Amino acid sequence: MKFFIDTADLDQIREAQALGILDGVTTNPSLMAKAGIRGAADVKAHYRRICDAVDGDVSAEVIATDCEGMIREGEALAALSDQIAVKVPLIKDGVKAIAHLAQQGIKTNCTLVFSAGQALLAAKAGASYVSPFIGRLDDISADGLQLIEEIRLIYDNCGYPTEILAASIRHPMHIVESAQLGADAITAPLHAILALLKHPLTDMGLKKFLSDYQKADD
Ligand code: G3P
């Protein structure tokens, strides 16, 4: 399963990259704004910096909501680097834009997906990735992980190559359960990725090993 970090913060991206487990980065307009990146020129320059900082795919989201605008922005983003996957919202014009970009061999990430029907359309249009937002579903008392299970079944039944990228991850168990359900990738904030490291028995065990080693050395 691929691990992406869901941020535009370069320090966090570099920290995750240094772990040696990172397959790329996902961003969105809110994350870019949170990192203080504003305006088309700065946004493009920042995508270049992110691509330089990691080896894998970098999802870069279009702002336009009409098909022509999304295609124009998508082509410009894709021209920045082979690493770019153009992130397109699951709306009618978005589906058309994904189909067009896919036909040109441009990687796409279909975002803001909240239902199995939407995921089916994304795959049919030829999206490289589909991003079901599991945390935002949980936030409204729905079941985000159940959506991952539904999409996995549909994609396996139909043989779609679109990769399921579990997004809007809130905590480490979202990552573990997405893996159990057959997600191809997750994108998570750094804190959720680092939380996978934690277990009190690991800390206690290491402390004991080191103190025993010290005693044997005395
Ligand atoms: O990048 C898309 C998604 O992961 C956003 O997550 O936390 O804003 O619901 P969140």
pLDDT at 26: 98
Residue 171: phi, psi to the nearest 5? Answer: -155, 170
pTM exceeds 0.75: yes
Grouping H, G, I as helix, E, B as strand and the rest as coil, residue 21 is coil
Instruction: Report which protein residue has its CA nearest ligand 1's atom 6.
Output: 168
CA distances to 56, 95, 197 from 25, in Å: 8, 22, 20
pLDDT at 101: 98
- pLDDT tens per residue, range 66-96: 999 999 999 999 999 999 999 999 999 999 9
Please name which of 177, 217, 215 lies closest in space to residue 196, comparing C-alpha atoms.
177
Catalytic residue check, 198: no
Rounded CA gap, 73 and 189, in Å? 26
Q: Is 109 in the pocket of ligand 1 (CB under 6 A)?
A: no
Centre of ligand 1 to C-alpha 44, Å, is 20
Rounded CA gap, 179 and 173, in Å? 10
Give bridge partners of residue 109 from the DSSP assignment.
87, 129
Structural domains of the chain sorted by starting position, each given as residue range(s) with its CATH number in brackets: 2-217 (3.20.20.70)
Low pLDDT (below 70) residues in the chain? none
